[in-house]
Amino acid sequence: MPMLLPLASLLVAALLPLVWTVCAKAGAPYDNARPREVLARAVGYRQRANWAQQNSWEALPVWLGALFAAWVTQVPPALMNAAALVFVAGRVLHGVFYIADRPTLRSLAWLAAFASAMLLYGAALLRA
């Protein structure tokens, strides 16, 4: 059971890009033959939702690596759980602030999520 939150955070991290894609495409004309062209022409909140989606994909391998390193080196579950909660909160808020066009808050949310991953990498390095 000690890995429940870290594994759940990985699932959330894998699903968030899809959530932001739905936000980007909701109500927009859709062309199944050229779905990426629809997003390439997006403006306003749809464009920002697409950017949030792209950033979420970029964050996923960083988080996956952090969890793997922490698991392999047996980082204490309490630290992994705390980092997982901060990561998920940061990534959700990052997307919300991106879509809402709040760049400073978006950057702070990004930093919180990134710092939680770096915390796990650091803890893993200390235990290696």
pLDDT tens digits for 34-89? 888 888 888 999 999 999 999 999 999 999 999 999 999 999 999 999 999 999 99
Count how many domains the chain has. Answer: 1
| Host domain of residue 33 | 4-127
In this prediction the pTM is 0.94
- Residues 6+ away with beta carbon under 8 Å from 53: 17, 18, 20, 21, 24
pLDDT for the residue numbered 9: 98
CATH of the domain at 104: 1.20.120.550
Alpha carbon 79 to its chain's center: 19
Rounded CA-CA distance 6/2 in Å is 8
10-43 confidence digits (pLDDT tens): 999 999 999 999 999 988 887 888 888 888 888 9
CB-side neighbour CA atoms (13 Å) of 76: 4
